[in-house]
Amino acid sequence: MGDSPDLPPLSAALYQAGCRSYAGFHTPGHGRGHAIYPPLRAWWGEGVFRADLPELPGLDNLLAPAGRIAEAQAQAAQVFGADQTWFLVNGATAGLLAAVLAVCRPGDRLLLPRNVHQAVLHALILADVWPVFLAPCRAAGLWGGPDPTAVTDHLAADPTIRAVLLVSPTYEGVCAEVDTLAAIAHAAGRPVIVDEAHGAHLGFHPALPLPALSQGADLVVQASHKTLPALTQAAMLHCRGVRIDPQRVSQALRLIQTSSPSYLLLASLETATAQMATAGRHLLEQTLAAAAWVRAQVEKLPGLSVVQPPCGRPGFAAQDPTRLTVRVADLGLTGFAADEILHGELGVTAELPGYEDLTFLLSVGHTTADVAQLVAALQTLSRRHWGAVPLPVAPLWPGLSERVCSPRQAFFAPCESIPLAAAAGRVSAATVCPYPPGIPLLIPGERISPEALTYLESSVRAGGAVVGLSVQDPPEVRVLYG
Ligand SMILES: Cc1ncc(COP(=O)(O)O)c(C=O)c1O
């Protein structure tokens, strides 16, 4: 594996273990790469297999860390401003499941916005928690956080609400008023969990919105792999203050994380932390400059515009400038159609297509050539399509559905598949989520309204995808019997 590189402690121990000459009678079965499919070894290189090791002496144990992993997690806690940090090898999903399991008891209620990731809905099923949904604020074509007044009212009215969960930033980089919401929740004696999957980079540059931990959040889940130089699936869970029992968090993580974590993922978390601590500000300076340049160029292009949240209004505290949502509807294109052209013909791939727009993620991993290619592709799109008839307005989200039973009751209840068109009035056994906007329309235990069906039909007609329906034509949906 070459000369000894300059690595932080856990990664250095892994490197040493990978270099050691010994006969290893342990997992994984590829035997440090000897038995791996040769073309794969030729492609990935030998080093990756030599570092793909189990919990050997000196490499610590993720589920009961006391050595190098404990050290790396403590270092991450310091860098991210937490009292305690846990490394996750199953994405932010693992952090969300563990956070809800650690904070709530069966039968509790959790106050949360509807635009939560499906992992949170799965956590409700696992922990037997009832959701109390808040409709997120919507303005300028973007979803924001919940209205603080609604949070205050719910907490005052319902003593069975155990905690508040927030999503900030959203996919489009819209940040909720985490400081205000945390103050409201704490005054009412409830802890706050923040799904900051899209915001692991926020603490590393003063021009970015403040990270949730520094705004009073108690438990924060970050998908490090989304915006930091870490491998896919690598994520972190951070805890701060006295409202969360860290032992419950560790216990919950033992329940849902693998006992064979990939050291490649753990090393990438450790090195991303070290990199951001030493060079994060400088790297983000370049990302921010690139994002500002792209914004300025887009504003010059006929038919294209950057979608800006109305910061300062309830639900809209700030915008992460490294997310760029570009409206394409005035070119007569849906975000899906524009995505196909950009990806298929113009060599640019976006993070998320919407009905009227496309969201691009800029990170410390982008080069000057990447951003130049993005602007050139958008120029071509504008030139080719300017003058087309603008799109009709997007279908209107019909709002929250009536809850009949808990997500867990619905998950375990006998159910059947029926044609979607015949489902009005029945209780959904499935999470049905149209993209866009990626906000679940139905989750297990909710009654299917005629308005919800109309919305699903118009979403599909507009070119969106619906997750949670069967693929056959006409589509079917899982509902409870009777
Ligand atoms: C808001 C939000 N939370 C959580 C997740 C889950 O993250 P992961 O894929 O790392 O499990 C996602 C994934 O897209 C997300 O967008």
DSSP string, 223-289: -HHHHSS--TT-EEEEE-SSSS-HHHHHHHHHHHS-SS--HHHHHHHHHHHHHHHHHHHHHHHHHHH
Q: 155 and 217 in one domain?
A: yes
Kindly indicate the confidence band of residue 3, based on its pLDDT and cuts at 50, 70 and 90.
Answer: low
**Same-domain status, 263 and 286:** no
Q: Is residue 245 part of a domain?
A: yes
- State how many domains the chain has: 4
Same domain, 107 and 248: yes
375 has pLDDT over 60: yes
Cα–ligand 1 centroid distance for 42 (angstroms): 32
Dist. CA 137 → ligand 1 center (Å)? 20
Q: Is residue 391 part of a domain?
A: no
- Whether pLDDT at 2 is above 70: no
Q: Which atom of ligand 1 is nearest to the CA of 171?
A: 16
Q: How many residues does the chain have?
A: 482
Around 274, how many Cα atoms within 13 Å sit in the side-chain half-sphere?
A: 15
Answer yes or no: are the C-beta atoms of 388 and 381 closer than 8 Å.
Answer: no
Higher pLDDT, 129 or 394: 129
Residue 1 has pLDDT above 60, yes or no: no
Residue 247 above 80 pLDDT?
A: yes
Q: Are the CB atoms for 130 and 109 separated by under 8 Å? A: yes
Average pLDDT over residues 5-20: 96
Query: Does residue 308 share a domain with residue 199?
Result: no
Q: Tell me: the pLDDT tens digits for 356-365?
A: 999 999 999 9
Placement of tokens 């709530």 in the chain: 104
423 and 370 in a common domain: no
Q: How confident is the model at residue 435 (pLDDT cuts 50, 70, 90)?
A: confident
Q: Which two tokens stand for residue 210?
A: 């403040």
131: Cα separation from own chain's centroid: 19
Average pLDDT in the chain: 95
Q: Tell whether ligand 1 has an atom less than 6 A from the beta carbon of residue 355.
A: no
Ligand 1: nearest atom to the Cα of 115? 1
Q: Is the CB of 304 under 6 A from ligand 1?
A: no
Average pLDDT over residues 12-37: 96
User: Looking at residue 399, what is its pLDDT?
Assistant: 83
What was the pLDDT predicted at 402? 92
Q: Is 350 in the pocket of ligand 1 (CB under 6 A)?
A: no
Over residues 412-432, mean pLDDT: 94
Please give the single-letter amino acid code of residue 478: R
User: What pLDDT is recorded for position 37?
Assistant: 98
Tokens of 138: 């919507």
Cα-Cα-Cα-Cα dihedral sign, residues 293, 299, 303, 307: positive
Q: Are residues 261 and 352 in the same domain?
A: no
Range of the domain at 369: 281-385
Q: Separation of 471 CA from ligand 1 center, angstroms?
A: 24
Please name which of 352, 353, 284, 349 lies closest in space to residue 322, comparing C-alpha atoms.
284
151 with 111: CB under 8 angstroms? yes
Within this chain, do residues 288 and 319 fall inside the same structural domain, yes or no?
yes
Quote the pLDDT of residue 475: 85
* Whether residue 337 has pLDDT greater than 70: yes
Q: Element (H or E) spanning 40, and its range?
A: helix 38-44
The domain that contains 380 carries what CATH number? 3.90.1150.10
CB under 8 Å to 208, separation ≥6 — which residues? 201, 202, 284, 288, 320, 321, 322
Check pLDDT > 90 for residue 466: no
Shared domain for 374 and 472, answered yes or no, is no
pLDDT of residue 390: 82
Distance CA 219, CA 223 (A): 14
Cα 4 from chain centre: 35
| Token duo for residue 21 | 């000459």
Contacts of 241 (CB under 8 A, 6+ apart): 83, 218
Residues 171 and 195 sit within 8 Å (Cβ to Cβ): no
* pLDDT digit string, tens, across residues 154-212: 999 999 999 999 999 999 999 999 999 999 999 999 999 999 999 999 999 999 999 99
